[in-house]
Amino acid sequence: MAQSGWVARLQLGLALWLFFWMAPLEAGIHRAPIVIPAHKMRAIAQYPTRNYRVFRTGPTGEAVPIPFQIDEINGIGDYVLNEGPQPNLQTGDNVFNNLDELSFMGDDVGPVGAPKSWPSGQTPHAVFEIRITPPAGVPDTAEGAVYVAVYLQNMPGQVDQKYVVFNLKSGEIMTSRYRYRFDQKNYLVVNGVDMVKPGPVPGADKVPLIDSSTFYAKADLKYFLTLQVNHRSVNSRLEAFKTGPVRTIVRVTFIYQFLKLNFEVGMYTEVSFFSNSVILPAIIYNPLDGIKSLNRGSGFYYGFALRESPSRYEFNTNMKAYEEESVGSGLLNFLKKEEKPEKEYWASLIGEDRMMYVLMRPSQQMLQDGNIPRYYVKDINGDDLKKRNNNDTRPIVESPVNLGLYFDLTRFREGEHFMSFQLFFENKKDYKNIELFKSLDRWAIKAARLF
């Protein structure tokens, strides 16, 4: 089943001001979210979710509360979400265990060294140290820790901070670093991403980064017909969501139909939004064995219409470039030496006042089949892309995108495929953060009980 999700709700006026004012400071170990499942911290688990509090150690040894979130995952792998048309709150057990996740921001991680004093003088029933250690070779990084306290009585209040807010009516996610606008007809694509300029009045100025996104799939079936779909061929509905201080999660269901075949494929996903990143893990069911059933030229892409041409950015990636099919290209591809797949594929765009980092993790089956992404970049700006119809089903070279990921569908086997996408948005130029994003899977996280 799918893992990870979208969305929450918005409080305007003073609440929004407080949100920005209380956004993470330039501190901690890094600017990325930290998400840890309960089964990797067995010593900490097995208590009711309401009994937990998380602290960093202050300069005089005091326990400083930080925003955190516990998200339950039920027995079939779905997040337990409490709001929306189809909430599933009854499927949770209100205990931190198994696949449940603890999340907090790297900005809030403090120094290693347990607190010596606790809020209101109330000593917790148990205290656990979560130590986060950077990998070797990453410059200017240091080890840090947070302290998870369990209270059986006299529990202190939680931190009144919210790093991500959501306006359900307008379909907007707002953080201290970006504004993300959903296409509410299809939650797989966006109607824009703006960067929030830092300044004395946070959020007063926004710089457009992405105008829109789209996807397109062409399945050229052997001895049959050719199917083409794009984001307007898909219907979606928001089923449920949860809002918390660190992350918002929403479950969205998609249903589409292949022309006159009356062949429906249902898919759903849960997307997480943090203050500087979007995580989209999805399981896609493929009804066709591409290796046996599809002709060359069958493909899928997901792309963005950047407001400015990609040529205005420093672009780096470990992917190979997309090559358009042409006469004789099938033979050339056959003769090419098979490349060794990477475990992760990434691309970074660095501008003077903004950065975007894209991370994609294919499933193990996809890697075994050489089913890996190719990048597509076109030197064209957003205004010129708007002249192309966003609703048409077009191949990537004719599409309204100037940055995209492309997959060869002839390498997609029939069945379920898990793919994880993560987008990082930063409202400043900082090469160090790009290097940190590349190393996140190599940070060591260890939990131990102190008392």
Average pLDDT over residues 145-154: 95
pLDDT score for 393 = 66
- 239-248, 375-384, 388-397: which range is least confident on average? 388-397
Higher pLDDT, 302 or 18: 302
- 19-28, 300-309, 396-405, 428-437: which range is least confident on average? 19-28
pLDDT score for 331 = 45
What digits encode the pLDDT tens for the residues 180-192?
Answer: 998 887 777 889 9
| pTM assigned to the model | 0.84
Domains of the chain and CATH, by start: 14-163+441-449 (no CATH), 168-437 (2.70.98)
pLDDT score for 15 = 33
Q: What six digits make up the tokens of 206? A: 């926004």
Residue 438 Cα to chain centre, angstroms = 14
pLDDT score for 17 = 33
Would the pLDDT of 296 be above 80?
yes
pLDDT score for 201 = 59
Which 3-state string (H, E, C) describes the chain?
A: CCCCCCCCCCCCCHHHHHHHHCCCCCCCCCCCEEEEEHHHCCCCCCCEHHHEEEEEECCCCEEEECCCEEECECCCCCECCCECCCCCHHHCCCECCCCCEEEEEHHHCECCCCCCECHHHCCCCEEEEEEEECCCCCCCCCCEEEEEEECCCCCCCCCCCCCCEEECCCCEEECCCEEEEECCCCCCCEEEEEEECCCCCCCCCEEEEEEEEEEEEEEEECCCCEEEEEHHHEEEEEEEEEECCCCEEEEEEEEEECHHHCCEEEEEEEEEECCCEEEEEEEEEECCCHHHHECCCCEEEEEEEECCCHHHCEEEECCEECCCCCCCHHHHHHHCCCCCCCCCEEEEEECCCCEEEEEEECCHHHHHCCCCCEEEECCCCHHHHCCCCCCCCCCHHHCCCCEEEEEEHHHCCCEEEEEEEEEEEECCCCHHHHHHHHHHHHCEEEEEECC
Share of the chain above pLDDT 70, in %: 84
pLDDT score for 185 = 78
pLDDT score for 25 = 44
Would the pLDDT of 203 be above 80?
no
What digits encode the pLDDT tens for the residues 240-271?
Answer: 999 999 999 989 887 665 554 434 455 678 88
What digits encode the pLDDT tens for the residues 43-94?
Answer: 899 999 999 999 999 999 999 999 999 999 999 889 999 998 999 999 999 9
What digits encode the pLDDT tens for the residues 100-131?
Answer: 999 999 999 999 999 999 998 999 999 999 99
- 21-35, 196-210, 254-268, 373-387: which range is least confident on average? 254-268
Share of the chain above pLDDT 90, in %: 45
- Average of per-residue pLDDT values in the chain: 83
Average pLDDT over residues 283-288: 69
Higher pLDDT, 254 or 214: 214
Q: How confident is the model at residue 8 (pLDDT cuts 50, 70, 90)?
A: very low
Instruction: Say if residues 108 and 24 touch (Cβ distance below 8 Å).
Output: yes
pLDDT score for 188 = 77
What digits encode the pLDDT tens for the residues 330-364?
Answer: 444 544 556 788 889 999 999 988 999 999 988 88
